[in-house]
Amino acid sequence: MKRPSGPEEAQPPASDIRVFARSCSMHGLGHVFGPGGPMARRGLWTAAVLLALATLLYQVAGRVRYYGEFHHETALEERESRRLTFPAVTLCNINPLRRSRLTPNDLHWAGPALLGLEPAEHAAYLRALGRPPAPPGFMPSPTFDVARLYARAGHTLEDMLLACRYRGWPCGPENFTTVFTRMGQCYTFNSGAEGAELLTTPKGGTGNGLEVLLDVQQDEYLPMWRDMEETPFEVGIRVQIHSQEEPPLIDQLGFGAAPGYQTFVSCQKQQLSFLPPPWGDCSSVSLDPDFEPEPSGPLGPPRPSPGPSPPYSLIGCRLACESRYVARKCGCRMMHMPGGAPVCSPQQYKDCAHPALDAMLRKDACTCPNPCASTRYAKELSMVRMPSRAAARYLARKHNRSEAYIAENVLMLDIFFEALNYETVEQKKAYEMSELLGDIGGQMGLFIGASLLTILEILDYLCEVFRDRVLGYFWNRKRSQRHSSANLASHPSLCRHQDALFLSTHLLPRHPALDGASVSSGPHPDIPDVASLHVSFHLHPK
């Protein structure tokens, strides 16, 4: 039996780095801090571990930096549906005002601004319209409303719409909603206004959409008097196909349909999804077009509306921004603009509204982000001549018109879905948080063989170090103070000296040098006091 060489060694504390290195799941620590082994081998393992840690930190920093750049990617996908919502279709006659509805009062107020007429030319223009001149003593009205002018003198759908069918079922003006645009009074089919149910279609192809037969009423077109910026030279109908969530911007985004032709419009639905900041710049907050008297900064998107408002759209944002700009400059708005400001008078149109709007469009003062979700419709157009000779005779008899009138004024519009499939264009995050964590975990496993539990082991070791090294220091200091106080109280020599201090004077031995002498009030030189005993005890313990 082997005799023990000495007392059994105490176990090292948990805060010892060697204990942690032996039990940690991180590779290489056991070779760096483990006992034994030549120094060269331990140095090589130390260099390998440090190199692996440096490479890991470099890779992790690159992944974190890439995640912080918030990249996105665009995915295009084609999907199928059993039924699609039919889009909104807005129709406008290219001619804004009918010549038979204009009066001398209209020319007095709106002639200079809308038609470019001077007051001296009113009589000649009325003769060109086939109207009698203003009677003697004519007095214009004290006020004038441009919106009422377009509502009264614009082309009515009841006069233009000769036939209407949707999926083979008859429709009429009651299925259209009146809307004002920059082209005047227009009409929207399937607008969904006032909670109306949206129309859908279960099939694609011709005959499964909207078919309208329209009369452009060329005999009501205004005479060409002077070449102006907005003077129309063409004849026909302007058409825009859009979603119900966005207002029409037909003067810029509409396409034309000419009389004497049947225009086929094949549509394909596209759903667009964009990401909000910081991955993208989309917005889904509705905007308030009303005038703000004291803007806080440069012109930008209007503030969110505090009350109920239509869904956010790019065109709606542009119209709201234009309305706010014109209201700020002129104190009014144009009739096609949203908001609560009063409609500009014809003179305000000429002097302020048109110049302000043109200046704003030239400098692109409105900054409108893309909507986070929107719908648009790709279109393919084809045309054939109509009517045929036989059809012209039939239509002339049916509508009590001449064949020449039918050929010059009538057009047909056929709008349908090409198929029930639709495209989705979606922005997606190129790098998710889960991918970042996966990359970091893969790099940790590759370079140092660590995982999430390894991080917990390191945190647990740091807690042990804090408990043993920091808290243990204060605990040991407090324990030594308590132990010193206890030893001081139980020391036997200190107890004897304390007892002698409280003896009566007749029990003390009489010193010959003190006989006959007066008793001093100070301490006796041969009797130490308590303080000196306490110091002596600490300096010379027994």
Give the CATH number, domain containing residue 421: 2.60.470.10
The pLDDT of residue 302 is 45
Q: Is 224 or 431 the better-scoring residue by pLDDT?
A: 431
Q: 261 and 161 share a domain? A: yes
Q: 51 and 176 share a domain? A: no
- With tokens 């396409």, the residue in question is 255
The pLDDT of residue 308 is 54
Q: Is the peptide bond before 371 cis (omega within 30 degrees of 0)?
A: no
- With tokens 């639905």, the residue in question is 269
Question: Per the domain annotation, does 142 fall within a domain?
Answer: no
**Signed CA dihedral, 120, 122, 125, 130: sign only:** negative
Question: Per the domain annotation, does 109 fall within a domain?
Answer: yes
Short-list 363, 377, 447, CA closest to 417: 377
Asked whether residue 298 carries a pLDDT value surpassing 80, the answer given is no
Asked whether residue 513 carries a pLDDT value surpassing 80, the answer given is no
Of the residues 393, 428, 463, which one is the last residue of a structural domain? 428
The pLDDT of residue 515 is 43
- With tokens 């648009």, the residue in question is 376
The residue segments making up the domain with residue 110 are 99-135
Q: 384 and 235 share a domain? A: yes
Q: 423 and 449 share a domain? A: no
Beta bridge partners of 384: 262
- 420 close to 80: Cβ distance less than 8 angstroms: yes
The pLDDT of residue 505 is 45
Percent of the chain with pLDDT over 90: 47
Count of domains for the chain: 3
Report the C-alpha gap between 451 and 442 in whole angstroms.
9
Query: What is the CB neighbour count within 10 angstroms for residue 246?
Result: 23
Window from 185-194, 280-289, 347-356, 441-450 with minimum mean pLDDT: 280-289
The pLDDT of residue 490 is 61
Strands 169-170 and 421-429: unpaired
The pLDDT of residue 94 is 94
The pLDDT of residue 13 is 76
The pLDDT of residue 539 is 39
Question: Per the domain annotation, does 510 fall within a domain?
Answer: no
**Angle (nearest 5°) at CA 396 between 392 and 401:** 135
The pLDDT of residue 59 is 94
Tokens of residue 211, six digits: 């078919």
Asked whether residue 336 carries a pLDDT value surpassing 50, the answer given is yes
Q: What is the mean pLDDT of the chain?
A: 82
Which of the listed ranges 5-14, 171-180, 473-482 does the model predict with the highest average pLDDT? Answer: 171-180
Residue type (1 letter), 144 = F
Cα separation of the two ends of the chain:
41
Percent of the chain with pLDDT over 70: 82
Q: Is 393 or 228 the better-scoring residue by pLDDT?
A: 393
Q: 406 and 280 share a domain? A: yes
Q: 173 and 211 share a domain? A: yes
Q: 131 and 255 share a domain? A: no
**Measured CA distances, 431 to 212, 372, 394, 483 (Å):** 49, 19, 65, 62
Question: Per the domain annotation, does 329 fall within a domain?
Answer: no
Asked whether residue 165 carries a pLDDT value surpassing 90, the answer given is yes
Question: Confidence class of residue 166 from pLDDT cuts 50, 70 and 90?
Answer: very high
Q: 163 and 252 share a domain? A: yes
Q: How many helices (H) and strands (E) does the chain have?
A: 18, 15
- Is the whole-model pTM more than 0.85? no
Report the C-alpha gap between 324 and 293 in whole angstroms.
10
Asked whether residue 481 carries a pLDDT value surpassing 80, the answer given is no
Question: Per the domain annotation, does 397 fall within a domain?
Answer: yes
Q: 40 and 159 share a domain? A: no
Window from 69-83, 286-300, 463-477 with minimum mean pLDDT: 286-300
- When pLDDT is averaged across residues 264-293 and rounded to a whole number, the result is 85
Question: Confidence class of residue 293 from pLDDT cuts 50, 70 and 90?
Answer: very low
Report the C-alpha gap between 213 and 401 in whole angstroms.
15
Report the C-alpha gap between 309 and 299 in whole angstroms.
21
Q: 205 and 86 share a domain? A: yes
Q: 387 and 461 share a domain? A: no
Question: Per the domain annotation, does 379 fall within a domain?
Answer: yes
CATH number at residue 461: 1.10.287.770
The pLDDT of residue 39 is 84
Q: Is 479 or 424 the better-scoring residue by pLDDT?
A: 424
Strands 237-242 and 210-215: unpaired
Asked whether residue 492 carries a pLDDT value surpassing 80, the answer given is no
Long-range contacts formed by 486-495: CB under 8 A, 24+ apart: 488/534, 488/537, 491/537, 491/542, 493/533, 493/537, 493/542, 494/533, 494/534, 494/537
Q: 419 and 450 share a domain? A: no
Q: Reduce the DSSP state of residue 416 to 3 states and report it.
A: strand
Nearest 5°: phi and psi at 472? -65, -35
Window from 175-184, 420-429, 490-499 with minimum mean pLDDT: 490-499
Question: Per the domain annotation, does 503 fall within a domain?
Answer: no
Question: Per the domain annotation, does 25 fall within a domain?
Answer: yes
Question: Confidence class of residue 171 from pLDDT cuts 50, 70 and 90?
Answer: very high
Residue type (1 letter), 333 = R
Q: Is 210 or 129 the better-scoring residue by pLDDT?
A: 210
Burial class (CB in 10 A: 0-12, 13-18, 19+), 350: middle
Residues in the chain: 542
Report the C-alpha gap between 389 and 61 in whole angstroms.
77
Report the C-alpha gap between 38 and 512 in whole angstroms.
80
